[in-house]
Amino acid sequence: MSLDTSRFIAEHVEALKPSGIRRFFDLASTMENVISLGVGEPDFVTPWNVIEASYHSLEQGYTAYTANAGLMELRELISDYLKTTYAVTYRPADQVIVTVGASQAIDIALRAILNPGDEVIIVEPCFVAYASAVSLAGGVPVSVGTKAENGFKLQPEELENALTSKTKAIILCNPNNPTGTMLNREELLPIAELVEEHDLLVLSDEIYAELSYEADYVSFSSLPNMQDRTILISGFSKSFAMTGWRLGYAAGPAELIQAMTKIHQYTIMCAPTMAQYGAVEALRSGSASVEHMRKSYRQRRNFVTSAFEEMGLMTNRPGGAFYIFPSIKETGMTSEAFAEALLIEEKVAVVPGSVFGESGEGYIRCSYATSMKQLTEAMKRIKRFVEKQNA
Amino acid sequence: MDKKEIEILELLEKNGRMDVHMIARMVELSVEEVEAAISKFEEMQIVHGYSTLIDWTEVRGHEGVTAMIDVKVTPIRGKGFDDVAERIYRFPEVKAVYLMSGAYDLSVSVEGKTMSQVARFVSEKLSTLDTVISTTTHFILKKYKHDGIIFGEDDNNDRRMPVSP
């Protein structure tokens, strides 16, 4: 008999649930001619000037490590960017760290702040990694579900009900993946009050901030008294279509960023150097390419919103990101059954809302980061599918 | 011109065949409003037509040649370059004429079936005009990108995984 190696796996890792997305990925991968609305990344290729700048850095031989917290030049540009865009001030020297994607920023932020048993509020439906990242850091994830009738916006009383003496932090993703919901200043302020009242910290995942389509984006850190209580997490993946480069950053109080840097230096050393040089160019060249992509996403958002309304699937008009989260409750199916049947019968891949948390049951996440041609065809197929279910 | 009108123009510039129903949804206007806006653009001569970008090199027997010709001319008193330009752009084989800054005056783009056809146009029609001082003809060897479109680029180049968080 061969050795049972699984007994070497740590219990807390064994206990982690595999991501529900994985199963769908496996299923969709085996099929041909699938139109995928299941992709959580831009359909644009990284702007050419960014690619070219990264090439150039390689040609020049910039292939060594950078400082643990990232190139000073890049941290300065991030600091300038946050100041001009969201009116928040961070010192490049000790309040900004460049990470391997925003995901790593979330990981080291949690590891830097959590003692065993500390609770972290997770606002669902949300990005699949938060709860596991909290567990891996020794914390206890506490879910707070949001409701469609509130536009999937976190209600202060729902948050307050979930707070205990052990609550240490809240992870807030604004604009939200998977709902596309964006909280404005008025909606964020009562949350900030609770944060202060209960002496909490906020991990503000602002990776989709550049992709907001209605009001001006308000960073949680810019709210009164919140800069000392916020670890602002963002990156280049969504705004500059740089997902594969794995480059993000965190900005926050110096003590916390330094604690994160300690973990970062022992586990990663630094973010990839050529990606950092690409990011320098991305921030230097400014907003023209971002503006172009944002406009295109907004047009596609308008298109899919009206298409779902027309087929009778209730949906909130997304304020940001590139997701729409329509209800499929009318069909009487579970999210998973709906998504699976849609994939098999019409070859359209969407992600069942339930993988983003219990409150996502009854919804599907459709990414509109795909061409108008594909979107038009996908909407046609989903419409046909829904009509068949209702017949 | 408001923001949404600009958006309509940008969409049409990219795809002249885009359906008004789709444009209406994308810019959140009614179909009637979009149609009215487009009529207005046509009347105001902001929109001059809806042509199709064709890569003729892919059509056997119709490959053709294109030349860019730098033309030096003597401007005519009181009329500047406009009269000369008109005498040139009226020829149907001339696809584009621009007044340029720099070493020469007019940039003329000419299409023909063969090199000798274009050469004949230059020697017989263009250089014989009184106001034309000199011409320099450059034949295009290969078109990589035209009007913002990269030729030969694969439409199905989505390299993303089908499902991701």
Mean pLDDT of A191-204: 98
What pLDDT sits at residue B164?
85
- What is each CA distance from A260 to A3, A234, A385, B10, B26, in whole angstroms? 38, 15, 48, 45, 43
Query: pLDDT tens digits, residue range B83-116?
Result: 999 999 999 999 999 999 999 999 999 999 999 9
Query: How many Å is the maximal CA-CA distance in chain A?
Result: 64
Q: How many CB atoms lie within 10 A of CB B32?
A: 10
Helix H, strand E, coil C: the string for B108-142 is EEEEECCHHHHHHHHHHHHCCCCCEEEEEEEECCC
Candidate from A151-160, A297-306, B52-61, B118-127 with smallest mean pLDDT = B52-61
Q: How many CB atoms lie within 10 A of CB A230?
A: 26
Q: Does A92 touch chain B (CB under 8 A)?
A: no
What pLDDT sits at residue B1?
86
What pLDDT sits at residue A1?
66
Q: Tell me, what amino acid is at B159?
A: R
Domain B3-43 CATH (choose: 1.10.10, 3.30.420, 1.25.40, 1.10.1060): 1.10.10
**Distance from the A360 Cα atom to the nearest Cα atom in chain B, whole angstroms:** 14
pLDDT tier for residue A2 given thresholds of 50, 70 and 90 = confident
Two structure tokens written together for B161: 């995984």
What pLDDT sits at residue A32?
87
**Contact call for residues A121 and A168 (beta carbons, < 8 A):** no
Chain B contacts of A34, Cβ < 8 Å? 162
CA distance B61 to A272: 51
In a mutational test of the B interface, the residue from A21, A26, A39 whose CB has the highest number of chain B CBs within 10 Å is A39
Domain residue limits, chain A: 7-46+289-390, 49-285
Place of tokens 């990269």: B150
Mean pLDDT of A337-355: 96
Mean pLDDT of A339-363: 96
Q: What is the CATH number of domain A7-46+289-390?
A: 3.90.1150.10
Average pLDDT, chain B: 93
Average pLDDT, chain A: 96
Count CA atoms within 13 Å of residue A10 on its CB side. 6
Two structure tokens written together for B64: 């053709």
Positive or negative, the Cα torsion across A164, A170, A171, A176?
positive
Query: pLDDT tens digits, residue range A241-279?
Result: 999 999 999 999 999 999 999 999 999 999 999 999 999
Q: Is the pLDDT of residue A23 over 90?
A: no
Chain B contacts of A303, Cβ < 8 Å? 22, 25-26
Which pTM value belongs to this model? 0.93
Is the model more confident about A61 or about B79?
A61
Does the beta-carbon distance from A19 to B164 stay under 8 Å?
Answer: no
In DSSP notation, A106-140 reads HHHHHHHHPPTT-EEEEEES--THHHHHHHHTT-E
**Helix runs in A165-253, H state only:** 185-197
**Distance from the B28 Cα atom to the nearest Cα atom in chain A, whole angstroms:** 7
Domain residue limits, chain B: 3-43, 56-142
Q: A63-66: which pairs have CB atoms within 8 A and are 24 or more residues apart?
A: A63/A273, A63/A274, A64/A273, A65/A269, A65/A270, A65/A273, A66/A98, A66/A270, A66/A271, A66/A273, A66/A276
Task: Note the CATH architecture for domain B56-142.
Answer: 2-Layer Sandwich (3.30)
Mean pLDDT of A315-333: 95
Predicted complex ipTM exceeds 0.90: no
Candidate from A204-218, A320-334, B151-165 with smallest mean pLDDT = B151-165
Classify residue B79 by burial, with Cβ atoms within 10 Å: 0-12, 13-18, 19+.
exposed
Percent of chain B with pLDDT over 90: 83
**Distance from the A205 Cα atom to the nearest Cα atom in chain B, whole angstroms:** 15
What pLDDT sits at residue A17?
85
Chain B contacts of A370, Cβ < 8 Å? 158
**Distance from the B161 Cα atom to the nearest Cα atom in chain A, whole angstroms:** 7
Residues 6+ apart with CB under 8 A from A379: A303, A304, A307, A308, A311
Percent of chain A with pLDDT over 70: 100
pLDDT tier for residue B163 given thresholds of 50, 70 and 90 = confident
CA distance A207 to A103: 10
Task: Note the CATH architecture for domain A49-285.
Answer: 3-Layer(aba) Sandwich (3.40)
What pLDDT sits at residue A296?
96
What pLDDT sits at residue A26?
86
In DSSP notation, A15-28 reads TSPPPHHHHHHHHH
Chain A contacts of B4, Cβ < 8 Å? none
Candidate from A65-69, A112-116, B53-57 with smallest mean pLDDT = B53-57
